[in-house]
A = this chain, B = another copy of it.
C-alpha cells in the first residue's frame, strides 16, 4: 500500500476507535496524518489510542460541526477518512438534534467544503448497517431496502447519500462503507455507545458477569485490521468511487455463542442472558449479517482475522490498559 507514502491524510474522528488505528497504520506507511477529533467524553475519542504515535501525527481538536475549522483542515489533503459520528442509537432517540447535526448536517458541510476548497480529495465515509433496519432477508446485500429504525439510522442514511450525491453531481470521489460490528483494540468499552462488545470485554476483565440481552440474535463482526484494509482499498481502488459497500466478517455467530467464546479466550468469566429493556427492544433489528461479496469482488477485500483470534488480541490489549479505558 505504498500509495499512502508521502500522502497527506485527514481523519475525522481521528482519536476514535477506527480513526486512531488507521492513523497508526498510515504513519507506518509514510503518510502525513492529521487527526480531527472533538474529544466529546461520550464519544469514541481517547488520547490513549495514539500512544506511541502521538509525535508522528498532527492533532487538531475540533468538532466536525465547526465548519471554519474544517475549511482550513481539508485544504491540501489527498485523502479524507470521514469517520467522526455520533454512534449511539439510544442517544439519537433521546437527543435527535445532536445526532442530526453531526451525522447529517456536518457531513453535508464537509462535502460542501471539499467541493469549494479541495475537489480532488478522495473521501471514504464510515456508514452503518443500521440504515437497513430489520432485514427482509439474510445475508443483507447492498440492494436491500433502506428502512432505518432509529434516528441515528435516518441521519446516517442522509450522510451517506450526501457522499454519493457529491460524487455523482460534482465528481468528488467518495466511497461509503456500511460497517457492521467492528471490534478490536481502541474501541470504547466504558459503555455500549459504540459497540456492546466493548462493554462485554470490560465486564469480563473486571470480573463481572457479561450481560447478554436476548442471546439468540445472529451477528457478524469485522476485526479492526480487516476494516482498515477495506478503508484503504476503498480510498485507492478505481472501482470504489461512488460506490457503497457492505463490510461483513468471516463468521456469523449468535450473541450467546460470542459471550461463550469471549470467556474461553479469556480463560475464565461468566455470562447471563437478560431480557431486552423496552427502549432497546423498540429499535432492535433481530438477526443481521451482511452479504459482502461486492467489496470482495470489486476491491479484492478479504477479512484475514478469525473471530477467535480477533477477540484474543482485543482482550490482550485491554488487559494491559484497562485503566485508560474505564
Check if A93 is an interface residue, CB within 8 A of chain B.
yes
Q: What residues of chain B lie closer than 8 Å to A96, measured between beta carbons?
A: 108, 112
Which stretch (A53-61, A153-161, A218-226) binds chain B?
A153-161
SS class, residues of chain A in contact with chain B: helix
A169 lies within 8 A of B100 (CB): no
Q: What residues of chain B lie closer than 8 Å to A168, measured between beta carbons?
A: 149, 282
B100 lies within 8 A of A108 (CB): yes
Q: Min CB distance, A137 to chain B, in Å?
A: 13
Q: A residues 142-190 with Cβ under 8 Å of B?
A: 143, 145-151, 153-155, 157-158, 161-162, 164-165, 168-169
B145 lies within 8 A of A165 (CB): no
Number of copies of this chain in the oligomer? 2
Q: Min CB distance, A265 to chain B, in Å?
A: 36
Binary flags per residue of A255-276, CB closer than 8 Å to B gives 1, else 0? 0000000000000000000000
Q: A residues 90-122 with Cβ under 8 Å of B?
A: 93, 96-97, 100, 104-105, 108-109, 112
Q: Min CB distance, A167 to chain B, in Å?
A: 11
A169 lies within 8 A of B150 (CB): yes
Q: What residues of chain B lie closer than 8 Å to A253, measured between beta carbons?
A: none
Q: What residues of chain B lie closer than 8 Å to A147, measured between beta carbons?
A: 161, 164
* CB closest chain-B residue, reference A142: B145
Q: Min CB distance, A94 to chain B, in Å?
A: 11
Check if A283 is an interface residue, CB within 8 A of chain B.
yes
B93 lies within 8 A of A100 (CB): no
B165 lies within 8 A of A154 (CB): yes
Q: What residues of chain B lie closer than 8 Å to A162, measured between beta carbons?
A: 151, 154
Q: Which 6 A-B pairs have the closest CB atoms?
A: A158-B158, A154-B161, A169-B282, A154-B158, A96-B108, A146-B146
CA distance A241 to B170 in the complex (A): 38
Q: A residues 185-207 with Cβ under 8 Å of B?
A: none
Q: What residues of chain B lie closer than 8 Å to A148, measured between beta carbons?
A: 161, 165
Q: What residues of chain B lie closer than 8 Å to A112, measured between beta carbons?
A: 96
What are 7 residue pairs bridging A and B, where the CB atoms are less than 8 Å apart in the complex?
A93-B169, A97-B105, A147-B161, A149-B165, A149-B169, A168-B282, A169-B282
Q: Which of B157, B164, B282 contacts A158 (CB 8 A)?
A: B157
B158 lies within 8 A of A104 (CB): yes
Q: A143-B145, A165-B148 are in contact. Are A155 and B158 (CB under 8 A)?
A: yes
Q: A100-B104, A104-B104, A145-B143 are in contact. Are A161 and B169 (CB under 8 A)?
A: no
* CB closest chain-B residue, reference A134: B168
* CB closest chain-B residue, reference A136: B143
CA distance A97 to B155 in the complex (A): 14
